Amino acid sequence: MPFDASPTPLIDGFGRPVTYLRLSVTDRCDLRCRYCMPERMKFLPKKHILSLEEMARIAGLFIHHGVCKIRLTGGEPLVREGVISLIEALGQHVDSGALDELCLTTNGTLLARHAEGLIAAGVRRVNVSLDTLDAARYRHVTRLGDLDRVLEGLEAAQATGLKIKLNAVASRGAFEEELDDLIRFAHRRGMDLTLIEEMPLGDTGRDRDANFLPLWQLRRELEKRWTLDPVPLSTGGPARFVQIRETGGRLGFITPMSCNFCALCNRVRLSATGKLYPCMGHEGASDLRAALAGGDAEVMRAIRHTIARKPERHDMVGNSGQSQGLARHMSELGG
């Protein structure tokens, strides 16, 4: 009998089912966002990166064993040459009904070029990182970015029918002053907006403690200007949503530092090099690339071993602006 003739669900040691895979297709990016990486970031040699065929093979095993949602991340996934072919391969699982959702997180710089290809391949929703609507500040935050390209990408994506959620990393200072405009921009265009606390991943040359803004504090300020009604919406991720009565749109809060969200964690992360991380906030990982040579049964043994060691919660600490982080940069796993 084949080893997977009766596939069993992926369950961690705390009884949590793993149904969500975040797949990083590259560590490379065409931006250098200050909260993500240093200006002179050293990317991995391409020989260390999984082929697109290897990624599709590993993803297929996860799907066969109960994973029903896959998000492609980076780095910036759309800079990976040929990435649409991977999306097409995974999109076949959407067509068959084995995969409920195939989505993508992007900085939006290449979205105008790829929007039609994404929706044709099976993607229906994209998350776009956008921290400001001020062109000069966007250039400052990203070091290389052109805001107009992102805005063009958003327009092109919506024209194809792609649903869009904007993600913004919260920080002290100008971001707080611009947030109301970002809310209005998103909601007038039918986009959700999710705010994310900055996570202490990798040395970026940035004073994280000085910039860190806990979302409980930001929410308290928002409530002075907006009416926030909690909604029971869940996208299978860590965001908790409210509806802003004045706009009718949804606003999400992801709070990895001030309010740990690990109790219901259902995801694992595969790096572009084939390392499977059971938790974003831990350094521990298994090498699935090495396991590929032993066949699918060997890969599944490595996957189950890794999931069995999934920790109860992450190691990152955020307390009164003081953070304890990891050496690994966010671009290695896509956040």
Q: Give the angle subtended at the CA of 65 by the CAs of 61 and 69, to the nearest 5°.
A: 85
Rounded CA separation 54/167 (Å): 29
- Write out pLDDT tens, residues 136-195: 999 999 999 999 999 999 999 999 999 999 999 999 999 999 999 999 999 999 999 999
Q: Would you say 82 and 55 are in contact if contact means Cβ atoms under 8 Å apart? A: no
- Write out pLDDT tens, residues 93-144: 999 999 999 999 999 999 999 999 999 999 999 999 999 999 999 999 999 9
- Write out pLDDT tens, residues 186-208: 999 999 999 998 876 555 566 66
pTM confidence score: 0.90
Token pair, residue 109, equals: 């710089």
Q: Which residues pair with 253 in a beta bridge?
A: 195, 240
Would the CA dihedral through 170, 171, 175, 176 be positive or negative? Answer: positive
Q: Which residues pair with 23 in a beta bridge?
A: 72, 270
Q: Please name each of the domains of the chain with its CATH number.
A: 20-332 (3.20.20.70)
Give the pairing of strands 101-106 and 125-129.
parallel
Q: Would you say 129 and 141 are in contact if contact means Cβ atoms under 8 Å apart? A: no
Q: Would you say 263 and 310 are in contact if contact means Cβ atoms under 8 Å apart? A: no
